[in-house]
């Protein structure tokens, strides 16, 4: 029976990743699949150790399945694998120095590995992606509009969408029924649309490496549709538990 661990945002924090792996080993039933929804790296030199750890799992560990995240997309932009955006997201958010660090600290071997990562995974009726079905750059949160969330889930014919861009753990359910949209055009005409919906779910999977001494990730059982959020404390304040 399938039992998934889904995580995102390691951000070159090897200590946090190791702590999460230890927590995954404790899970009952045993985790059978490990999905990493991007942001494995950041601009620091520590990124290479994390990539090597992911690419070389130890005996008994699930083999990580990794898709591209925001940071991986910045690498591909810098190296010309994908079109650059104006303004450049990396420079706009972190400055020119961060772009130089990313260029200097990510090896050509790792750039090649990143270039071969999938955009997303589709398993059963579940889409697993960093940002959304539209872009790795898009952020989905519990505050996103129901219409937007429904659109992003429905684009891939999925019923469950797992995303990591926000760094939050959340479970947003769109129940069976209908959504009504009313738009007032520039000439004053009201246009109405009704969307019939089946039971859909957007799930924020958390963030492993962004918060010092605390990692969050998600456990999911596709056979039972049960979602559990895990909080792992490491370093000075160690501990495990549900969030």
- Comparing CA positions, the residue from 70, 37, 68 lying closest to residue 203 is 37
pTM to 2 decimal places: 0.90
Does residue 194 belong to any structural domain of this protein?
no
User: CB-based burial of residue 110 (10 Å sphere; 0-12 exposed, 13-18 middle, 19+ buried)?
Assistant: buried
Asked if residue 7 lies in contact with residue 208, where contact means CB atoms within 8 angstroms, the answer is yes
Q: What mean pLDDT, rounded, does the chain reach? A: 91
Residue 19: the pLDDT is: 98
Beta bridge partners of 5: 34, 219
Mean local confidence (pLDDT), 45-56: 98
Residue 189 lies in a domain: no
Over residues 165-200, the pLDDT tens digits come to: 999 999 999 876 555 555 555 666 666 656 556 689
3-class secondary structure per residue, the chain? CCCEEEECCCCCCHHHHHHHHHHHHCCCCCCCEEEEECCCCCCCCCHHHHHHHHHCCCCCCCCEEEECCHHHHHHHHHCCCCCCCCCCHHHHHHCHHHHHHHHHHCCHHHHHHHHCCECEEEECCEEEECCCCCCCCCCCCCCCCHHHHHHHHHCCCCCEEEECCCCCEEEEEECCEEEEEEEECCCCCEEEEEEEECCEEEEEECCCCCECCEEEEEEEECCCCEEEEEEEECCCCCEEEEC
Residue 167 falls within a domain, yes or no? Answer: yes
Q: In the predicted model, is pLDDT for residue 50 greater than 60?
A: yes
Q: How confident is the model at residue 231 (pLDDT cuts 50, 70, 90)?
A: very high
What is the rounded average pLDDT of the residues 63-91?
Answer: 95
Please indicate, yes or no, if residue 188 is contained in any of the structural domains.
no
For the purposes of burial, counting CB atoms within 10 Å of the CB of 239, is it exposed (0-12), middle (13-18) or buried (19 or more)?
Answer: exposed
Q: 150 is in which domain, residue-wise?
A: 4-175+202-242
Instruction: Give the pLDDT band of residue 115 (cuts 50, 70, 90).
Output: very high
Residue 188: per-residue pLDDT = 62
| Range name among 1-15, 73-87, 210-224 with the lowest pLDDT average | 73-87
User: Which domain CATH number covers 99?
Assistant: 3.60.21.10
Residue 147 falls inside a structural domain: yes
Tens of pLDDT, residues 86-111: 889 999 999 999 999 999 999 999 99
Share of the chain above pLDDT 90, in %: 79
Q: Tell whether 58 is covered by a domain.
A: yes
Return the axis-axis angle of helices 47-55 and 14-25, rounded to nearest 10°: 30
Q: Tell me what pLDDT residue 45 has.
A: 97
Which tens digit of pLDDT belongs to each residue from 119-178?
A: 999 999 999 999 999 999 999 999 999 889 988 998 888 999 999 999 999 999 987 655
Q: Does a structural domain hold residue 190?
A: no
Does residue 185 lie in a domain region? no
pLDDT at 239 over 80: no
Residue with tokens 């990692």: 215
Q: How far apart are CA 96 and CA 174, in angstroms?
A: 41
pLDDT of residue 175: 78
Our count of domains for the chain comes to 1
């Amino acid at each position: 029976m399938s039992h998934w661990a889904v995580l995102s945002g390691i951000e070159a924090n090897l200590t946090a990743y190791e702590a999460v792996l230890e927590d995954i080993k404790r899970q009952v039933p045993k985790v059978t699949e490990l999905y990493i929804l991007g942001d494995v790296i950041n601009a620091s030199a520590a990124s290479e150790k994390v990539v090597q750890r992911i690419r070389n799992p130890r005996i008994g560990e699930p083999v990580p399945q990794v898709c591209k995240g925001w940071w991986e997309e910045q690498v591909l932009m810098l190296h010309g694998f994908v079109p650059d955006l104006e303004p450049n997201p990396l420079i706009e958010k972190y400055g020119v120095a961060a772009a130089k660090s990313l260029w200097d600290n990510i090896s050509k071997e790792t750039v090649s590995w990143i270039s071969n990562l999938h955009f997303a995974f589709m398993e059963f009726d579940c889409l697993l992606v960093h940002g959304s079905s539209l872009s790795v750059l898009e952020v989905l949160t519990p505050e996103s509009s129901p219409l937007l969330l429904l659109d992003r889930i429905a684009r891939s014919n999925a019923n469950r969408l797992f995303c990591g861009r926000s760094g939050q753990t959340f479970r947003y359910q769109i129940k069976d029924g209908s959504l009504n949209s009313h738009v007032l055009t520039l000439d004053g005409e009201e246009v109405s649309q009704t969307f019939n919906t089946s039971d859909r779910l957007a799930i924020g999977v958390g963030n492993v490496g962004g918060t010092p001494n605390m990692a969050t990730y998600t456990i999911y059982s596709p056979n039972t549709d049960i979602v559990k959020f895990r909080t792992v404390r490491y370093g000075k304040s160690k501990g495990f538990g549900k969030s």
